[in-house]
Chains A and B, each alone.
Chain A
Amino acid sequence: MIGHVLGGAAALAASPPVQDPGTASGNGRTVTFGLFVFFIVVTLGITVWARLNTKSAVDYYAGGHAFSGPQNGIALAGDYMSAASFLGIAGIIALSGYDGFLYSIGFLVAWLLTLLLVELMRNAGRFTMADVLVYRARTQSPVRTAAAVSTVTVSVFYLLAQMVGAGALVALLLGIHPGETFLGMSAEAAKTWTIVVVGALMIFYVMFGGMKATTWVQIIKAVLLIGGGVALTVLVLARFGYNLSGLLGSAAESSGKGAAFLEPGLKYGKDVPGDPYHTLLNKIDFISLALALVLGTAGLPHIVTRFYTVPDGRAARTSVNWAIGLVGAFYLMTLALGFGAAALVGRKAIMAQDPAGNTAVPQLAKALGDHFGGPVGGDLMLAFIGAVAFATILAVVSGLVLASSTSLAHDYFGHVLMFGRPRESQEVGVARFAACLIGVLAIVLAVIAKNMNVAFLVALAFAMAAAANLPAIVLSLFWKRFNSAGVVSGIYGGLVSSLVLVFFSPVVSGKVDPLTGQSLSLFPKGVDFHFFPLENPGIVSIPFGFLCAVVGTYLGRADADSRRYDELSFRSLTGAGSV
């Protein structure tokens, strides 16, 4: 799973230092660090500018609806492509071949569902998903509360995985091995400091800059990411004479697995010879993951909030189209990057530095730089890719914190805690405070979990979004009979089922690496209370979420005001009266 690769990097701290050709030399480390600082300074400048331009709730929550379709599309792509995609997918491809590609396909195809829903949501809502869900509700409080709980839960889980991964990643990018120091910090300390610094930066961006700052940071990051990806892809292809087949063959050879490297089945849906039960379980697990990926994107809170930064539904549609183009192009590039890393860096070197494969792309960058430009080139490429990864992390975590704070302030504070609606300028103050709160919570949890294998959290976040948010959104928009009881039961049913199932799954307890005997789960080796056999709860919790929504509708009071439904239907499809 995608977060798996980031979380796996955390395990590296415990391993002894190994000779690896991919780390930065002293000079390279300085350049990398310098680029980090440069990027931070630029984004701080953007935040200050955004602060001066953020005057009202609309500015804070939705950037004043002032972003054009293409700009928002680039920001959407930037918000979506986390470091996990950039490094993680390429890492899975580098280590396990084709299966990483399966992952990226799921990530991309999900955007078509988003495209179908984006105009409706933009037309019918204002800042958050809950604005759409409460349209027909007789009383807003229960629905707003449920939506806020769901948003914060999904965002915090995603955030945790990103921040823990960030800590490990930066330590690796700076090439700090156990026993070495960088600026007087050991690897452990560097990890903690990274988490704290990343957390502080994201709090600053969101508190002071709001949506405007985060959008521009994401646009810049997306440009850097695509640029870096294109540069690396061209170099990789050039290295193999623009012969894709040659690249694939070389990768298959280096992997030691031959043709199986280019086929599905090395990581997901593994065939266990002689054990049809576990084979079937693996395949169902894989299908469950695919389901969660394809249905989850449309319900991710930080994606939904970004629908509202454009003036109208049509611009929202344009922005999703741009996002599809960029995300698709990028994931095609990761194919080349992953196989290139497998061919040029080699499985052993990658695993030596990070068992989960996160550093495959930086190592590839160094190898390509060395090949084309000597050691200096290698260090420069490594520094550049490292800075891109750092920018990626910062952009995504800011987006997540913004979405959570928006929901807490607008949905929970604005509609539940305050009986009479506060003036929206008061809401913004609360939103800033909520951003600080969530940021601090994320920092604390990430520091506690910094050595744990929290990789599963991203896939879990997708499964929760698909199980809790998607049924509520789809049924609200399209089902006449749906009512607020349905929304509440759907959201809580999806959330709770996902959490419970994953708690009793092998990712939390009971999964043991057959080779090393180490626990691959969250809990250490002795603890095992799992009974749910799948690692991703999607295939059970998503239908369950829909079922809860439907059952809740029929059990609840029929407050389905058909006039409100007609109104919602009219407004969402035509854009009349949209703000």
Chain B
Amino acid sequence: MRYAVMARDERFRLLRRRFARLALAIAGSFLGWYFLYVALSAFARGLMARPIAGNINVALVLGVLQFVSTFALAWCYARYASDSLDPVAAALRDEADAPAALRAAPWRSALDPGADDDPDLADERPERSSRAERSERSGRPEPLEAGRGPASAPVPPDGTPESGRNVRLSRPTRVIEPMSAEPLPRSAMPRQPGPPDGPPGTQRDRGVPKQVNGRPRRPREERGPEEQALPVVRGRPDRVPAPPGPSPADGAPPAAPAQPDIAAGDQPAAPEPAPVPAAASAADAGPGSATGGPVHAEAAQRPVDAARSQAGTAQRQVETAQRQAEGAQQAEPAQRHQAEAAQRQAGAVPGPVASKDDGSDAWSGASVRPDPGWLR
């Protein structure tokens, strides 16, 4: 299940480490201080009896200090949690919960397998009705904007070579530390795209690096209207598929609809593969994306069928994904190694996406590839 797989994500490990440190620090300090106070009250009565100001003695002061320390620790927890835990948790949560279109009911609410079938619980489902979820409920894909096709892309059916190789584990692919100065492991750095392998017009579904063609990527506000009008799933920033790794040329078109700026060789816009990360992984096929323009037309058509077939094959894909996830685990390090080799070749050494430089959040510049493994 995707939660279990996402639990291996480096960001989640970071969140867990931080929470553990915070909890142990707070629990250790308040319990230690409290039991010190209890011990003093029981055994060191002479000390407690010493007066400080008039009738106020050490005992009273220590007791009031217990109150003060409690308030202070509660405040510290709230502040640290909202600064350092909440953003990470929100990112993980959005990533885990957003792609609802492919999820059939039974495994969505792990607590209550029948919950989604129970109309009593209809009012309980989280109201994060993203476009993907609305499309799921209505049974047909919802248009991203007027005139655009649905964002869902076909998923290669089981058994095809591509379906196996599309699966990646959610290894760290980007940084999500806008406010923290804590250095992340190198693996958490965003993967930058390798060298373009074809005419600029075919660089459609690469990662969107901070620097493109030697120029810094324009901030969101400055981008052209065609870039602005990209579909965005609620709560999720622009996501782009990862740079080309050694993924297969599966020919599956990327999730995004027609992107007029691609032909212009301009900075590639960020397609929004929100409901179908599986397709996104297909999109990061380097050579595969060389299909370019003609594929878009098909892309508009296929998702309609794909969405229907997806619902049918979703169940099978769960098992497949799980098996693939295990397999991908071994394959993943090799892929990463190759990707890094490609980067070194390209000579592109981007800086870490660590700060908000242009008013957009830190994610919009990062190259992110949502993990398809747990979305089947």
Contact = CB atoms under 8 A, between A and B. Distances in A.
Interface of A: 56-58, 64-65, 98, 101-102, 105-106, 108-109, 111-113, 115-116, 119, 125-126, 131, 135, 244-246, 248-249, 252, 259, 262-265, 269, 271, 283, 286-287, 290, 294, 314, 317-318, 320-321, 324-325, 328, 331-332, 421, 423-425, 563-564, 566-567, 569-571, 573-579
Contacts of A65: 124
A58 B59 CA distance: 47
10 contacts: A102-B38, A115-B74, A259-B49, A269-B41, A287-B35, A321-B74, A567-B4, A570-B6, A574-B12, A579-B115
B15 A574 contact: yes
Interface stretch (B103-111, B200-208, B219-227): B103-111
8 nearest CB pairs, A to B: A245-B54, A566-B7, A248-B55, A576-B96, A264-B41, A563-B4, A424-B120, A567-B3
Contacts of A324: 70-71, 74
The CB with the most chain B CB atoms within 10 A, among A98, A115, A252, A269, is that of: A115
A301 to B, nearest CB: 19
A135 B124 CA distance: 19
B27 to A, nearest CB: 6
Contact of A264 (B1, B48, B93): B48
A445 to B, nearest CB: 33
Nearest to B29: A112
Contact of A98 (B3, B27, B31, B59): B59
Contacts of B78: 317-318, 321
A321 B63 CA distance: 20
B93 A328 contact: no
Contacts, number: 192
A246 B41 CA distance: 23
A105 B63 contact: yes
Contact of B55 (A56, A262, A574): A262
A112 B123 CA distance: 32
Interface string B32-64: 001101110111010011000111110110011
Contacts of B31: 294
A291 to B, nearest CB: 8
Contacts of B26: 112, 116
A325 B71 contact: yes
Nearest to B108: A577
Nearest to B95: A576
Given A112-B73, A283-B43, A579-B111, 7 more contacts: A56-B121, A58-B123, A252-B55, A264-B45, A317-B78, A570-B3, A574-B96
A569 B45 contact: no
A111 to B, nearest CB: 7
B120 A328 contact: no
Contacts of A294: 31, 34
Contacts of A246: 54-55
Interface size class, chain B? 35 or more
B218 interface: no
* Most A CB within 10 A of own CB, among B54, B57, B86, B111: B111
A421 B90 CA distance: 32
Main secondary structure of the interface of A (DSSP, over half): helix
B261 interface: no
A246 B59 CA distance: 17
B114 A421 contact: yes
Contacts of B7: 566-567, 569-570
A294 B78 CA distance: 20
B346 interface: no
Nearest to B63: A101
Most buried by B among A65, A105, A113: A105
Q: Is the interface of B mostly helix, strand, loop or mixed?
A: helix
B23 A287 contact: no
Contacts of A317: 78, 81
Interface string B7-37: 1100010011001000100110011001101
Nearest to B52: A245
A248 B56 contact: yes
A135 B60 contact: no
A195 B265 CA distance: 82
B97 interface: yes
A286 B3 contact: no
Contacts of B66: 105, 108-109
B60 to A, nearest CB: 7
Contacts of B12: 570, 573-574
A564 B41 CA distance: 45
Nearest to B7: A566
Given A112-B73, A570-B6, A574-B93, A264 B59 contact: yes
A128 to B, nearest CB: 11
A347 B83 CA distance: 51
A119 B26 CA distance: 15
A105 B120 contact: no
B110 A135 contact: yes
Given A116-B26, A566-B8, A577-B97, A131 B111 contact: yes
Given A101-B63, A115-B74, A263-B49, A575 B30 contact: no
Contacts of B8: 566
B70 A263 contact: no
The residue among A119, A125, A318 with the most chain B CB atoms within 10 A of its own CB is A119
Contacts of B16: 569, 573
Interface string B177-208: 00000000000000000000000000000000
A332 B92 contact: no
B30 A109 contact: yes
B126 A579 contact: yes
Contacts of B93: 574-576
Interface in B283-318: none
Interface string B113-138: 01100101101111000000000000
Contacts of B57: 259, 262-263
A294 B42 CA distance: 16
Interface in B157-183: none
Contacts of B86: 314
Contacts of A106: 34
Contacts of A571: 3, 110
Most chain A CB atoms below 10 A, which of B41, B43, B81, B112: B41
Contacts of A126: 111-112
B89 interface: yes
A262 B90 CA distance: 49
A265 B96 CA distance: 55
Contacts of A332: 64, 67
Nearest to A271: B45
Contacts of A57: 120-121
Given A245-B53, A283-B43, A116 B27 contact: yes
Nearest to B92: A574
A198 to B, nearest CB: 32
A342 B182 CA distance: 54
A269 B364 CA distance: 62
A256 B122 CA distance: 65
- With most chain B CB atoms within 10 A of its CB, the pick from A112, A286, A570, A573 is A570
